[in-house]
Amino acid sequence: MGNVTKTSAEVELAPVSHEMTGPRGRKPRKMLSRRNIMIYGTLIVVSLYYLLPLYVMIVTSLKGMPEIRLGNIFSPPVEITFQPWVKAWAEACTGLNCDGLSRGFFNSVRILVPSVILSIAIASVNGYALANWRFKGSETFFTILIVGAFIPYQVMIYPIVIMLREVGLYGSLTGLVIVHTIFGMPILTLLFRNYFASVPQELFKAARVDGAGFWGIYFRIMVPMSLPIFVVAMILQVTGIWNDFLFGVIYTKPDLYPMTVQLNNIVNSTQGVKEYNVNMAATILTGLVPLTIYFISGKLFVRGIAAGAVKG
Amino acid sequence: MKSLRVVFAASTALCAATAANATDLEVTHWWTSGGEAAAVAEFAKAFDATGNKWVDGAIAGSGGTARPIMISRITGGDPMGATQFNHGRQAEELVEAGLMRDLTDIAEEGNWKELVFPSSLLDSCTLDGRIYCVPVNIHSPQWLWINNAAFEDNGLAVPTNWDEFVAAAPKLQEAGIVPLAMGQQPWQTTLAFQTLLTALAGPETYTKVFGDKDADVAGGPEMAKVFEAAATARDLAKDSNVQAWNDATNLVITGKAGGQIMGDWAQGEFQVAEQVAGKDYTCLPGLGVNEVIQTGGDAFYFPKVDDEAITAAQGELAKVMMAPATQVAFNLKKGSLPVRGDVDLSAANDCMRKGLDILAKGDIIQGPDQLMSADSLTQVNDLFVEFFNNPEMSAEDAQKQFASIISSAD
Amino acid sequence: MAAATGPSRWHKNISAKVAALPMITTALVVFIGGTAWTVVYSFTNSKLLPREKFVGFAQYDRLWNSSKWLISIENLAIYGAFSLVFSLLIGFLLAALLDQKIRFEDTFRTILLYPFALSFIVTGLAWQWILNPDFGVQEVVRSLGWESFAFDPLYNPEIVIYGILIAGLWQGTGLIMCLMLAGLRGIDEDIWKAAKIDGIPMWKTYIFIVIPMMRGIFITAIVLIASGIIKVYDLVVAQTGGGPGISSEVPAKYVYDAMFLSQNLGQGFAASTMMLLTVIIIVVPWAYLEFGGKRRG
């Protein structure tokens, strides 16, 4: 498995054909069993379906506008141009500021890092308390939280504006981080609660007999055993927060606007010429951060198997 | 953050005693495409020249995207210095709630009442005799864009009005051309419908229906004509399989479709495709029937703030936006018409000139959003959209529903 | 045991309570408080700004007389049912396949998960192109010689919601797969060995042993999918804008449009109160049984 993971993120996402047939060719013959053909066959067909839109996006982002106007979305570019990529990153205008996506990149990072850390930290402790240290009423609060997961975000915009205004955090980074933490909490808490509940009770009891307290058990036993679920939580939060537009733009000010504001401005202008190639390049560029995180954390995820083995 | 800014503002106010105030003014707007940004740059340039600084807060996508942001910022107690808004009745409540700054003094000083043409633009900014916004341009949606070659190549004359267009349609269909291109997003349907309404029923009927909310007229014979025409349009557009408006425009440019009903911003697409007005394509304001244009457009509002430096900068910006030089520079880039009649627009192209002529003749109507509340308008638009997309729905049924909406509209 | 834990029990509970403080605050202040605020204002005729002008049930009357709202609900039901079933099914099957100790697991997993990283706006745009009858899949199949082939979900009011479903599943199943995989990885190797020794076929092991053991993961997945379904908005806006006509409207879009396009906050709040009521009717009894009714052994 180790040799495979060396492939870079870019190769991972390159157009399909040879990349996908590769594995079958290189495999030792004895592995061409019916079972394997079925498994790989299914995965390859499914992968093709998953890669189709990406293929369309990449191909489109490499074409010039005249070529796009001709209309075949599947045909490879006749003349490859990287201009849309350059434009999306560094030249596309957001009103007066013609420096593309690069403008909001660091703001996005500034929002992402504290939001992800805080939301996962709080939710994992919540989940741990709910799974292992129930107290009177804890399940009621949890049920409220779960119902909260179903409330459309838009409805909460104004009440939250009022709350943030009252505590004096409206327009600040802290306010936005708190909003992200709040809206990530239901699902993440549920995720951690269920995972911690599946940790064998014997371990927990043994630690308590040894005199470990709430935090001791959390840090020394629970966290190290829960790598896969931390990775899943991270995937969820990184994607959600990185791609967030509404909260970023409503609860902060222009000097804190995340990258998605520029993405929205590039993709969403209605009364002007739509540059589909730049749109596509901008989307792929915006998606690169979550993608990179997926790719790196994928390896951690695999290592989670080892964590699973500890349990046995 | 906020207190920091207050301190900063206070310190600049102190310095201002000697130097010209260099105040940062955050301006929110939704002009983000290439041409729009270039137009905004004209405002910013002119404003910066006054010694202040334009801080750009551009958010693409009007209504749905920008509105919650503006309202949150204003009710959150941390408003921007100035913000774009569709003028008309949409901002009424913000004004009523006392959240917007009264610009009457500046308007009187600049003699806007005399200069703004048509005067209805300023009326839309006025509530109880006070002026609360600066109109900056005029955009009109009532245009039919036609590909000349699509008609000429099939032995047809290029239509000069809607009836000729409809009459020529069967031949286009025979040649495999979609007569009417139409994007499937609801707002495009609505735009087409309202255009048919003003063009075919005439401005008088339009004003009676949308302005006076006259349900009898809404159920009367003039409107019946409109619903019939919309049924025809529905038929002509049934093979148009695109979503975005500019994809539909592209069908016209490439000759896959005969024409499209779209606002004056469609010109940008033709220009990019290097088409020449009058030669490659024809534009018919008011569908060539009733040559009227709507005086909708954009306006800027200035939220009330407790900060003298910012208040001063707001006033400065309002003046700059109305200045003749800025008006010309801005509107040439934007492709829209200026809000004052006393400026020189010799650089305008064929279609823009048609618009200017109509404007000069005074054949103008107010936009539906200036006449009707957003809520009622949405109900009307929903009906149009449903009618246009449901071939089962008869023109009579639709008109009945229309009349009933109008009877309870505000 | 009781003697040993007795003195420290109070302290332990305090730790747990302090640790759960953010959760308690969020639940009470934001979710309960925000919801109550919304419900109260759904009885007003608030337009652009929230105002206390009460109009009784007028907003609800109007809501249930709106064909747009009724279509929205119907669409949500169809989208929701299919989305839930297929997300779980596909997610689990893919996870099971990836769990077969295959080569290139990383590659496959990344391919299946990447759509989740892309914004709905352009996901919608890309699928809109692919499903466009004039230059997407339909045209390609036709040009291969199958002239009568018809596949235009986004342009046919009857089936438009399935066109949105295709893109929705594409975007979301990867994450469910990932969750399932985490669950499968948490299953003890010994269980597989034991099942093998007993000669239980693999599919039976999955259905009768493994899936019941993954109950928690399934619950998480269901909540994740279901809350996503209720909130589906961007995808519809990007792909069809609710069209053709109003045939692909969904409740979240109804709420948003009412609040910010028609500037009728009251109507938007009424619609969201109805959504919330439905959620409460379904979720609360279930959540009570699931989380509240029994103690963990």
Which distant-in-sequence residues (6+ apart) come within 8 Å of C31 by Cβ? Answer: A144, A145, A147, A148, A151
| pLDDT of A111 strictly over 90 | yes
- Joined together, the tokens standing for residue A20 give 């996908």
Regarding whether C121 and C23 lie in a shared domain, the answer is no
Whether residue C155 sits in one domain with residue C24: no
Do residue C19 and residue A301 have CB atoms under 8 angstroms apart? no
- In the block, residue with structure tokens 């800014």: B5
Most A-contacting residue of C111, C262, C276 (CB-CB within 10 A), to test interface: C111
Q: What is the pLDDT of residue A78?
A: 87
| Same-domain check for residues C203 and C156 | yes
- CB B173 within 8 Å of CB B156: no
Q: Which chains touch A (3 or more CB pairs under 8 A)?
A: B, C
User: Is C259 within a domain?
Assistant: yes
pLDDT, tens digit, 9 for 90 and up, residues A212-254: 888 888 988 888 888 888 988 998 899 999 988 888 888 888 8
Same domain for C22 and C124, yes or no, is no
- C37 within a domain of the structure (yes/no): no
Strands B178-181 vs B133-135: parallel, antiparallel or unpaired: unpaired
CATH code of C208's domain: 1.10.3720.10
DSSP string, C248-261: T--HHHHHHIIIII
Chains in contact with C, where contact means 3 or more Cβ–Cβ distances below 8 Å, are A, B
* pLDDT of amino acid A21: 37
Cα diameter, chain C: 82
Using an 8 Å CB-CB cutoff, list chain A residues near B97: none
- Domain holding C175, by residue range, is 42-292
User: C217 and C184, same structural domain?
Assistant: yes
Give the Cα-Cα-Cα angle C178, C180, C183 (nearest 5 degrees). 115
First to last CA, chain A: 22
Domain ranges (residues) in chain A: 4-81, 102-311
Q: Are residues C266 and C130 in the same domain?
A: yes
Q: Is the pTM of this model over 0.90?
A: no
Task: Please identify among residues 146-205 of chain A the ones whose CB lies closer than 8 Å to any CB of chain C.
Answer: 146-156, 158-160, 163, 181-182, 185-187, 189-191, 193-195, 197-198, 201
* Nearest by Cα to B377 from C263, C267, C45, C237: C263
Q: What is the pLDDT of residue A183?
A: 92
Angle between helix axes A34-61 and C67-98 (nearest 10 degrees) is 130
Cβ distance C91 to C176 under 8 Å?
yes
Asked if A55 has any chain C CB less than 8 Å from its own CB, the reply is no
Which superfamily is assigned to A102-311 in CATH? Answer: MetI-like (1.10.3720.10)
In this predicted structure, the answer to whether residue C9 has a pLDDT above a threshold of 60 is no
Report the C-alpha gap between A291 and A284 in whole angstroms.
Answer: 9
Class of domain B2-138+297-362: alpha beta
Residues B152-175 pLDDT 10s: 999 999 999 999 999 999 999 999
Burial string for A9-40 (b: 16+ CB within 10 Å, else e) reads eeebbeebeebbeebbeeeeeeeeeeebeebb
Of A31-35, A145-149, C211-215, the least confident: A31-35
Say whether both C149 and C265 belong to one domain: yes
| Residue C8 counted as domain residue | yes
C-alpha to C-alpha distance for B329 and B35, rounded to whole angstroms: 12
Q: What is the pLDDT of residue C18?
A: 85
Half-sphere exposure of A2 (CA within 13 A, CB side): 0
Of the candidates A57, A182, A191, the beta carbon closest to that of C26 is on: A182
Which ranges of chain B have pLDDT less than 70? 1-21, 33-35, 62-64, 87-89
ipTM of the complex: 0.82
- Residue A97's DSSP bridge partners are A94
**CATH class assigned to B143-294+372-407:** alpha beta
| Terminal CA-CA length for chain C | 17
Distance from C-alpha of C263 to C-alpha of C47, rounded to nearest angstrom? 5
Give domain status of residue C297, yes or no.
no
Residue C24 and residue C73 in one domain: no
Contacts of A297 (CB under 8 A, 6+ apart): A231, A234, A235
Give the closest of C154, C239, C256 to B64, CB-based.
Answer: C256
Asked if A111 and A173 touch (Cβ cutoff 8 Å), the reply is: yes
Q: Are strands B126-127 and B130-131 parallel, antiparallel or unpaired?
A: antiparallel
Instruction: Catalogue the E-assigned strands of chain A.
Output: none
Both tokens assigned to A267: 């993709």
User: How many domains is chain C built from?
Assistant: 2
Contact A273 B57 (CB under 8 A): no
Choice between A297 and B36, residue whose per-residue pLDDT is larger: A297
Confidence (pLDDT) at A110: 94
Residue C94 counted as domain residue: yes
- Whether the domain at B2-138+297-362 and the domain at B143-294+372-407 fall into the same CATH topology: yes
**Lookup: tokens for A145:** 């939280």
Contact, A101 vs A120, CB < 8 A?
A: no
Which residues in chain C are closer than 8 Å to A119, comparing Cβ atoms? none
Residues C23 and C50 placed together within one structural domain of the fold: no
Q: How many residue pairs bridge chain B and chain C with CB atoms within 8 Å of each other?
A: 89
Query: In terms of domains, do C15 and C99 share one?
Result: no
Please name the member of A135, A150, A309 whose beta carbon is closest to the beta carbon of C17: A135
How far apart, in whole angstroms, are the C-alpha atoms of residue C243 and residue C181?
Answer: 37
Domain positions in chain B are 2-138+297-362, 143-294+372-407
Comparing CA positions, the residue from A45, C157, A24 lying closest to residue B393 is C157
